[in-house]
Amino acid sequence: MKSSANQNLKPLTTRINDNGNLEISGCDLVELAEKFSTPLYVLDENTLRTICRDYKEAFSSYPNTRLLFASKSLCTMATSRILAQEGFGFDIVSDGEMYTVHKAGVDMKTVLFNGSNKGIDELNLALELGVGRISADNFLELSLLNELAGKAGKTVDILLRITPGIECHTHEYIQTGHLDSKFGFDLTQIDNAIELVIDEYKNLNIKGLHAHIGSQIFETKVYKDEVDILVSELVRINKKFGLNLNELNLGGGLGVKYTNVDYPPSTYEIAEIIIDALNENIQKYGIEPPVIYLEPGRSIVCTSGVTLYTLGSSKQVPHGTKYIAVDGGMADNPRPAMYQAEYFAQVANKPDAEPVQNVTIAGRFCESGDILIKNIKLPYTEEGDILCVYNTGAYNYSMASNYNRVAKPAMVLVNNGTADIIIERETLDDIIRNDKIPQRLGE
Q: Which residues are known catalytic residues?
A: 366
User: CA 170, CA 218: separation in Å to the nearest integer?
Assistant: 9
User: CA 22, CA 14: separation in Å to the nearest integer?
Assistant: 7
CB count, 10 Å around CB of 49? 17
- Give the β-pairing of 22-24 and 27-28: antiparallel
Q: Which residues of 157-174 are buried (b: 16+ CB within 10 A; e: fewer)?
A: bbbbbbbbbbbbebeeeb
User: CA 205, CA 183: separation in Å to the nearest integer?
Assistant: 21
User: CA 235, CA 214: separation in Å to the nearest integer?
Assistant: 24
User: CA 347, CA 357: separation in Å to the nearest integer?
Assistant: 13
CB count, 10 Å around CB of 278? 23
DSSP 23-44: EETTEEHHHHHHHH-SSEEEEE
- In 3D space, the residue among 408, 411, 414 whose CA is nearest the CA of residue 430 turns out to be 408
**What single letter denotes the amino acid at residue 367?**
E
User: CA 71, CA 91: separation in Å to the nearest integer?
Assistant: 6
**What single letter denotes the amino acid at residue 112?**
L
> Please, are residues 39 and 307 in contact by the beta-carbon 8 Å criterion?
yes
User: CA 371, CA 361: separation in Å to the nearest integer?
Assistant: 6
User: CA 359, CA 316: separation in Å to the nearest integer?
Assistant: 9
